[in-house]
Amino acid sequence: MPAPTTDIRRAAVLGSPVAHSLSPVLHRAAYDELGLTGWSYDRFEVDEAALPGFLDELGPEWAGLSLTMPLKRAVIPLLDEVSETAASVEAVNTVVFTEDGRRTGDNTDIPGIVAALRERGIEQTESAAILGAGATASSALAALARICTGEIVVHVRSEARAAEMREWGKRLDVDVRIADWADAEQALTAPLVIATTPAGATDALAAAVPERPATLFDVLYDPWPTALAARWSAHGGAVVSGLDLLVHQAVLQVELMTGRSPAPLTAMRTAGERALAAR
């Protein structure tokens, strides 16, 4: 373990609601493993209206922030710099404060998805399907832009969502085909399926899991497993969970905020698993 450092530094997760967030568990586990005894990580209930005032009141001891909904887009006008990754989907989930006081925004969800898949041996896929078309779906699309060589089919419930995903496809320069949610069962035969929907939304699809499914990335982690993930595993398919994503994106956040690399992936995942088991 590295030698302890007692420099007083602060970080936190902001959002509304935020009480459910596992980020404090993951980041504190990283600080313990890295010997960052002077570091603290908290959570604050902050909505879009309160965000500007919250940022303005932060002192020089602050190293960074993790952002959840509904702040990922609202924070952008309040930043001095935004990474290309975050700009590509107009979503910032990480703010780092530089020594000269600048606020820089990044998105670790996108590389987090890529890293979680890579951990399971998936470096590239010839095609993919996305279930849902919300904010997480745009990050999934951006991640697939890095690893998918062919068509990406997105199953949506409304024409408004369809239009949004078509626009994201153009911006990210990926081959997107829109399909109706009523035909979502067809998605389950894809080499890679990414489910980005709220809890319960894919439960009805569990009965349609093929006999030999490929890989499912279900971004949910509580409750876990989802009905779809459980049936997928029962049929021998590979499953990547929302906790995998949460841990991998948090690893990148820790590295950005602390300047320490690599962040302790195993310790962070173990802490997350224990916290979920205790709920």
CA angle, residues 151, 156, 161, in degrees to nearest 5: 100
CB 181 within 8 A of CB 154: no
The rounded distance, in Å, linking the Cα atoms of 125 and 105 is 29
Tokens of 68: 């959840």
Residue in 16, 103, 18 with CA at minimum distance from that of residue 63 = 103
Cβ contact 222:276 at 8 Å: yes
- The amino acid sitting at 144 is L
> What's the CA gap between 245 and 236, in Å, rounded?
21
Q: Which of 9, 72, 155, 260 is an active site residue?
A: 72
CB 219 within 8 A of CB 195: yes
Element at 34 (helix H, strand E): helix 23-34
Give one word for 192, left, alpha or beta, with left for phi > 0 and alpha for psi -120 to 50.
beta
Q: How many CA atoms lie within 13 A of 110 on its CB side?
A: 25
Residue 170 catalytic? Answer: no
Backbone dihedral angles phi then psi of residue 49, each to the nearest 5 degrees: -65, -35
Q: Which residues are catalytic?
A: 72
